[in-house]
Amino acid sequence: MAFETLLQHKKAFVFGLDDVLYPKKDYLLQVYYLFSEFMAYTEQLDSGAMIAFMQNEYLSNGAEAIFDKTATQFSIDSKYRHNFDLLHENARLPLKLLLYKQVLAFMQEIVVERKQIFILADGNPAEEINKIKQVEWNGLEQYLKLYFTAEFESKPSPASINFLSEQNGLSIDDMAIIGANKRDEQFAAVLEIEYFDVTKLL
């Protein structure tokens, strides 16, 4: 297993959040469900039809402009955009977010080996914190250190990793980045840090 090789040679592991630790869709589809229920309550719209539309739209085209598309489809007033955006930051999900099994197993091995785990979250920190609070960590939460790229220059700037490494007494060679997309891979390349694409295991 590729993770085992990393575990032997590295002291610290920097994980992304969305689609690295858990499927991002598991969060967004629950947010969309809650929004459709809210609209059914406030405007007597068909929540079943709305969540079906939003789910199909997300799976086909992603999250971009999904409020606008849904508002057009169901004649939703633009004033509800605020509620939609706010739900991303404070939604209390019906279901916990579950870590990928392979990632959970690797993180548990890191803890057993007394090495460090960092989460470097992209996006709006309020939304990222809301996600993190609703992950089923299986006891791992006490071993995590959390950082936000929003507090630094955006990727692929090395600023966030440079700060993380200095604060924790680590060198670039001590760390590995665990990501899931080309942006993460480019980020690691700029830093000359070993990179592992978690999607190869999923």
pLDDT, tens digit only, all 202 positions of the chain: 467 777 888 999 999 999 999 999 999 999 999 999 999 999 999 999 999 999 999 999 999 999 999 999 999 999 999 999 999 999 999 999 999 999 999 999 999 999 999 999 998 999 999 999 999 999 999 999 999 999 998 888 899 999 999 999 999 999 999 999 898 999 999 999 999 999 887 7
> DSSP string covering 50-70, please?
HHHHHHHHHHHH-STTHHHHH
- Do 193 and 113 belong together in one domain? yes
The residue type found at 142 is Q
- Do 130 and 49 belong together in one domain? no
Spatial separation of the C-alpha atoms in residues 122 and 114, rounded to whole Å: 26
Domain stop point among 38, 63, 90: 90
- Do 115 and 81 belong together in one domain? no
Give residue 2's pLDDT: 66
> 10: exposed, middle or buried (C-beta count within 10 Å: 0-12, 13-18, 19+)?
buried
- Do 17 and 30 belong together in one domain? no
Domain of residue 58, residue span: 25-90
Strands (DSSP E) contained in the chain are 12-15, 97-98, 116-121, 135-136, 144-148, 175-179, 194-197
pTM for this one?
0.92
